[in-house]
Structure 1
Amino acid sequence: MPRTRLSICQRKQRFASEEEAMRAAIAATIDLRPYRCDRCGRYHLTSRLKGKRRLPVA
């Protein structure tokens, strides 16, 4: 898996836990998935779906 670019990490919102990121993803108006960033160690959201698990329906 390619490493997250620092510029991408810095401009994304950071979540302290996967649960917090999951709640934000479910509340979003578009389909998002949380992932743990290999740069900062926190969670971000992505709209990329390849290889990501499905979220429960809100």
Structure 2
Amino acid sequence: MRTRLSVCRRKRRFAGEDAAKAAALAATITLRPYRCDRCFGFHLTGRTRGKRSL
């Protein structure tokens, strides 16, 4: 699924996957990092259905 540009602009961008994983593990809710196809950085998502957890 392609990320909408308006969603990409609202989300925090991480330069690397390691930084995104660290932020996801530090969060109080379950989050998963993914590479954005718009900015080519990493964002976090709460959609974890059918995906591997950290």
TM-score (norm 2): 0.94
Partner of 2:31: 32
CA deviation string 1:3-31 (max 9, x = no partner): 10000000000000000000000000100
Q: CA RMSD in A?
A: 0.8
Q: Which runs of 5+ in 1 are unaligned?
A: none
Greater than 6 Å deviation, 4+ residue runs? none
SS at match of 1:50: coil
Q: CA deviation at 1:52?
A: 2.3
SS at match of 1:21: helix
Partner of 2:22: 23
- Percent identical pairs in the alignment equals 67
TM-score (norm 1): 0.88
Partner of 2:52: 53
Q: Which runs of 5+ in 2 are unaligned?
A: none
Partner of 1:8: 7
